[in-house]
Amino acid sequence: MMEPTEDVNLSVRPMLEETFYILSKKNTVYRVKLTEKGLCLQKEHNGNIKNETISLSDIIGCRCMRRKRRSENSCACHPSSSRKHDPRVVEENSAEKDESDISAYLYIYSYILKNCRVKSGQKRDRMTITLRFRSFDKYEDNMREAQKWKSSIKHLIQSRTHPQLSPGKMIPSDSIIENKVLIILNPKSGPGKARDMFQTRVVPVLTEADVNYDLHVTRYANDARILVRSLDIYQYGGGLVAMGGDGILFEVINGLMERTDWETAFQRVKLGVIPCGSGNGLAKAISHQYNEPHDYNPILVSALNVVRGFTTPMDMVRVQTNTQSMFAFLSVGWGFLSDVDIESEKLRAIGSQRFTVYSMARLIGLRTYTARLSYLRVPEDELSRLHTTPHICMDHPSSQLQDPPPSNLPHSLSLGDSINLETEASEDSEGLRRDSFYSVASRRSTYLSVSGSSYLSLADDEDREVSMYGPPSSLPHLSQPVPQNWTVFQGEFVMVHAVFKSHIATDCIMAPDSKLDDGIIWLFVIKAGITRAHLLQFLLGLSSGSHVNVAQTEMIPVRAFRLEPQCPGSYITVDGERIPDGPFQAEVVSCAPNIMARSH
């Protein structure tokens, strides 16, 4: 976020402070201050002073660079001709560095809120701040100054997610906070472009944030499940990130629950999701809860969650059948919506539009199913209390300083998507050019994994007997009757769909009041006899949340439920994955994984 600031930000004692100039603008001075709140830019122009702050929560990383040696064929009088294909800064130890330039460059990468130009709403947009240090007459001294700023910024970023670090005290430059992540990528998710999306849209963000990563590309169904079941997951201090549809995270969670150390795993290992499937319900639910502008660029918003490192607890639901147990985080369905989900698989190539096509087909050929439904309703007083309690995100730093209030950066401001500032030149550098250069992380740059990263390949693992762990169940066995305080209904249904997140797809806000960790299963029940007009109204209302008011439909908050189908042919889905037809029951469990989410 970028916010015009008043004296409140200036009252915070700066950790570092320097004066910079924009040579293309006469009589313009920027006094840049680094504080525990972020980067304060005080612009002075012809006696007018304007203060703006880039919040620390919007800064993901920084990098020290050096000017690239100009090729023999380049022309100094036309610098723009080479910028498109030849970024003119390189790593400080690169063989292509320009020994004659004593300047050191610090690139600061941030993603701030901006208003969308074409339609209403906001989006996260990349902004690069370039600070050119050239006050000293030796390159080593200028780079030392740039490195001091870099170390301070990175320490402030790390102190937000590691409370043991004090924002006011520096740590040795050789100290490392392990943030390596494992990206588990399903190459067939959605339209099958997950691998390209990772390289072009996720790797740049990881690189800017200096996040090391391993990449595992799944090769068959349950590959991710087998991987996390046996892998040394504790080497990934940055967490396990599922990139694909919701099904890949379903595999990861159930693989973790098949480990004997599942409790420790959930306490110590973060989980993340980057959406590129057909539904992408969880990623949208996370953004919805934290008011993040998800729809414009969901991959970017989710990648920023990963590099920021904040987490929040997320409810899980145990689903039990006669033959197996599994854990879900999104939904359990039976009937209409599950039919659409499973039968539209043949149209996966068209993405989320497959759901619309098959919804119309099933609306025309409407099916009903006979079953017995039992559930334990959440008391009204408890429901009211749960939804008036403010949500608290985990991993907050010990510092009591708060970020500036949420804001946006209007397009009318002159800063645009980058700002290039430089210190006053030393007397010995008068003969050098003083223009600024494109960022090394421009859109035309080639991105590689940062140092220490690798591609992870798992040797083929033979099937072996595994057990599903977890906290003790509070439900009776499926062969036993439900408790007396449960509500029971037997009859014909169009669908029963249990939801534990606000969204089950990017454009489907199924349970508008749901929170990530409220402990509630929202049970949607549509009985036989509903008119097609009302059912169509229900389906159309899923994109806005208005479906909850449609006649002949029910939304019931429950702690647990049991469904016993009494006719064949119905589909049952758990987080979009089909399971065999038959009786099943579900309950919210006490163990809660920590999912990566933005903290304001």
The sign of the torsion formed by the CA atoms of 347, 349, 350, 351 equals: positive
Q: Is the pLDDT of residue 429 over 90?
A: no
Q: Which position has the token pair 């990772």?
A: 198
- Could you tell me how many residues make up the chain? 600
Q: Is the pLDDT of residue 488 over 60?
A: yes
Task: Using alpha carbons, list the distances in angstroms from residue 321 to 254, 567, 581.
Answer: 15, 16, 9
pLDDT for the residue 390: 43
Token couple for 14 = 């700066």
Alpha-carbon distance 386 to 382, whole Å?
6
Amino acid at 519: G
pLDDT for the residue 223: 96
Catalytic residue among 58, 101, 223, 246: 246
Question: What are the start-end ranges of the E strands in 500-541?
Answer: 521-527
- The answer to whether 171 and 203 have CB atoms below 8 angstroms apart is no
Alpha-carbon distance 49 to 564, whole Å?
70
What class has domain 180-309?
A: alpha beta
Nearest to 257 by CA among 230, 282, 229, 220: 229
pLDDT category of residue 404 using cuts at 50, 70 and 90:
very low
* Element housing 355 (H / E): helix 353-364
Where do the H-state alpha helices sit in 121-279? Answer: 139-161, 194-197, 203-208, 223-230, 246-256, 262-268
pLDDT tens digits along 338-389 = 988 888 877 777 666 777 888 888 888 899 999 999 999 999 888 877 765 4
* Element housing 386 (H / E): helix 380-386
**Start-end of CATH 2.60.200.40 domains in the chain:** 325-387+471-590
**Start-end of CATH 3.40.50.10330 domains in the chain:** 180-309
Token couple for 597 = 């989410």
**Start-end of CATH 2.30.29 domains in the chain:** 16-67+100-161
pLDDT tens digits along 287-327 = 999 999 998 899 999 999 999 999 999 999 999 999 999 99
pLDDT tens digits along 237-246 = 999 999 998 9
Q: Which position has the token pair 């797809």?
A: 505
Alpha-carbon distance 150 to 144, whole Å?
10
Q: What share of the chain is helix, strand, coil (3-state, %, to 5)?
A: 25, 30, 45
Q: What angle do CA 335, 316, 181 make, to 5 degrees?
A: 120
Question: What are the start-end ranges of the E strands in 15-56?
Answer: 16-21, 28-34, 38-45, 48-55
Helices 281-289 & 246-256 angle (0-180, nearest 10): 90
Bridge-based pairing of strands 554-565 and 369-377 is antiparallel
Beta bridge partners of 280: 505
pLDDT category of residue 167 using cuts at 50, 70 and 90:
low
* Element housing 490 (H / E): strand 487-499
Which range in 64-68, 199-203, 416-420, 451-455 is most confidently predicted, on average pLDDT? 199-203
The sheet carrying 270-275 orders its strands as 311-313, 594-596, 270-275, 239-244, 181-185, 213-217, 454-455
**Is the domain 325-387+471-590 a CATH 2.60.200.40 member?**
yes
Bridge-based pairing of strands 331-335 and 572-574 is antiparallel
- The answer to whether 555 and 524 have CB atoms below 8 angstroms apart is yes
25 DSSP 8-state letter: S
Report the mean per-residue pLDDT for the chain.
81
pLDDT tens digits along 66-122 = 988 776 555 444 433 333 333 577 787 777 777 888 999 999 999 999 888 767 688
pLDDT for the residue 85: 36
Rounded to 5 degrees, φ, ψ at 245 are -90, -175
Token couple for 10 = 């200036």
pLDDT tens digits along 507-559 = 899 999 999 999 999 999 999 999 999 999 999 999 999 999 999 999 999 99
**Residues 306, 309, 315, 321, Cα dihedral to 10°:** 50
Amino acid at 369: Y
Give yes or no: 513 in active site.
no
pLDDT for the residue 600: 57
Q: Is the pLDDT of residue 174 over 80?
A: no
**CATH of range 16-67+100-161; options 2.30.30, 1.20.120, 2.30.29, 1.10.1740:** 2.30.29
Name every residue whose Cβ is closer than 8 Å to that of residue 128 and which is 6 or more positions away in sequence.
107, 108, 109, 110, 417, 418, 419, 439, 441
83 DSSP 8-state letter: H
pLDDT for the residue 455: 38
